[in-house]
């Protein structure tokens, strides 16, 4: 059982520790099918991992605990996805023991950037290293899929096409290094609520026009040209996210007026991702957007970034 949060006793070092870094994702493209009888939607998505990342430290402890810094909006105890992942790995591999997990959070919570999934992926990688398990990344991906649809991609990283619930991945080759500005909102959006809003808009008959076929995005990524990639950005959830959080329209407009090539709501939002021509342009767009009053904070990020991985020199703590 995971303990509720985190007294110093629970997190006192009891041996070596492992540090792991796990990336946030942006959906460059997200097509959402109609709701299925089981309540899920079929997705076709193109993910990109970016160098905005959470860092986890995993160490053996007398009892399991998870502590997140800053703690806002993230569950403590049994519901934290990092703890869920550690327990599931221990069950599946019949190994391990109680662990204390410290999460240094950079990925916005409930921001459409799959921060919880990143933490789950990091916990899988961290525990596998701590327990010296002989598991292939593919096995971790299979376990990750049971935790959440975005966990496999947080393990894989890079740029990938996702189908099914977004969890069936194939890598996408691209020469492009993409420079993003992320506009982070002062509130979160619940992923199920955004899907429900899309279903509602579609049922009314006034749903948004669906995104174009994914081939346009894949061809743009092959070309490696940021302007072509910007023109191919698309997200079926964007209209639903804007319907629930109308201020996002202003954020998108402000980013494009500041000089971004294009932008979109990332996943279920409310983070807005703005694609820029190069690093210099991203810096300028970020500075202007920060002064626009249309979001809480602004971050620059580049992709693709690798999936969850152990950091060097993390072997002792
Ligand atoms: P999704 O992956 O569904 O797009 P998201 O990126 O919008 O989600 P997350 O930050 O992953 O949002 O959080 C979604 C919910 O998951 C949060 O509201 C929180 O209650 C729960 N959660 C559980 N564990 C974590 C964690 N380690 N970090 C963040 N959220 C977590």
Domain ranges in the chain?
A: 8-172, 178-303
Backbone angles phi, psi at 281, to 5 degrees: -65, -40
Nearest CA to ligand 1 atom 22: 116
Q: What is the pLDDT of residue 209?
A: 86
The residue nearest atom 2 of ligand 1, judged by CA position, is 114
**pLDDT for the residue 15:** 56
CA-closest residue to ligand 1 atom 16: 116
Cβ(191) – ligand 1 distance below 6 Å: yes
How much is the pLDDT for 7? 36
Distance between Cα 280 and ligand 1 center (Å): 31
Q: Span 178-303: which CATH code?
A: 3.30.70.890
Q: Whose CA is nearest to atom 9 of ligand 1?
A: 110
Query: Binding site: residue ranges?
Result: 108-118
Contacts for 152 with CB less than 8 Å, ≥ 6 apart: 141, 144, 145, 167, 169
- CA 54–ligand 1 middle distance (angstroms): 12
Positions at the binding site for ATP: 108-118
Give the ligand 1 atom nearest the CA of 103: 27
What was the pLDDT predicted at 20? 98
CB atoms within 10 A of CB 69: 10
Closest ligand 1 atom to 188 CA: 7
Q: Is the CB of 111 under 6 A from ligand 1?
A: yes
The reply to whether 178-303 shares the fold of 8-172 is no
Q: Determine the Cα angle at 249 with ends 247 and 254, to 5°.
A: 100
Helix runs in the chain, H state only: 8-11, 81-93, 115-130, 137-147, 151-156, 191-203, 215-223, 226-232, 238-244, 248-257, 279-290
- d(CA 28, CA 178) in angstroms, rounded, equals 11
* Per-block mean pLDDT, blocks of 10 residues, the chain (317 long): 37 70 98 87 96 97 94 88 97 94 95 96 97 94 96 97 94 94 95 95 86 95 97 97 97 98 97 98 98 96 97 60
Phi, psi of 150 (to 5 degrees): -90, -5
- pTM exceeds 0.90: yes
- pLDDT value, residue 124: 98
Tell me, using a 6 A CB cutoff, whether residue 152 lines ligand 1: no
Residue 302 burial (CB count, 10 A): 16
Would you tell me which CATH number, out of the four given (3.40.50.12280, 3.90.1150.10, 3.30.230.10, 3.40.50.150), belongs to the domain 8-172? 3.30.230.10
């Amino acid at each position: 059982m995971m303990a509720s949060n985190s007294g110093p006793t629970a997190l006192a070092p009891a041996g070596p520790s492992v540090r792991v870094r796990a990336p946030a994702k942006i959906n460059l493209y997200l097509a959402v099918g109609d709701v299925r009888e089981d309540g899920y939607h079929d997705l076709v998505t193109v993910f990109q991992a970016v160098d905005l990342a959470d860092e986890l430290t995993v160490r053996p402890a007398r009892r399991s605990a998870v502590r997140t810094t800053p703690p806002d909006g993230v569950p403590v105890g049994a519901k934290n996805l990092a703890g869920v992942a550690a327990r599931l790995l221990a069950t599946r591999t019949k190994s391990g023991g109680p662990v204390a997990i410290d999460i240094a959070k950079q990925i916005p919570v409930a921001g459409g950037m799959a921060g919880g999934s990143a933490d789950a992926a990091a916990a899988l990688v961290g525990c596998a290293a701590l327990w010296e398990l002989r598991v292939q990344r593919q096995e971790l991906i299979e376990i990750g899929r049971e935790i959440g649809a975005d966990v496999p991609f947080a393990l894989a990283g890079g740029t990938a096409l996702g189908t099914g619930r977004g969890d069936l991945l194939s890598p996408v080759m691209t020469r492009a290094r993409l420079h993003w500005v992320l506009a982070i909102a002062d509130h979160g959006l619940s992923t199920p609520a955004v899907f429900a809003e899309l279903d509602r808009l579609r049922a009314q008959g006034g749903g948004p026009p669906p995104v174009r076929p994914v081939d346009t995005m894949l061809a743009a990524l092959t070309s490696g040209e940021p302007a072509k990639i910007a023109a191919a950005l698309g997200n079926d959830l964007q209209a639903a996210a804007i319907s629930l959080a109308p201020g996002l329209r202003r954020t998108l407009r402000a980013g494009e007026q500041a000089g971004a090539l294009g932008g979109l709501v990332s996943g279920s939002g409310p983070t807005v991702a703005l694609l820029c021509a190069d690093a210099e342009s991203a810096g300028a767009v970020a500075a202007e957007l920060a002064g626009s009053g249309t979001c809480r904070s602004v971050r620059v990020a580049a992709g693709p970034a690798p999936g969850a991985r152990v950091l060097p020199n993390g072997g002792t703590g």
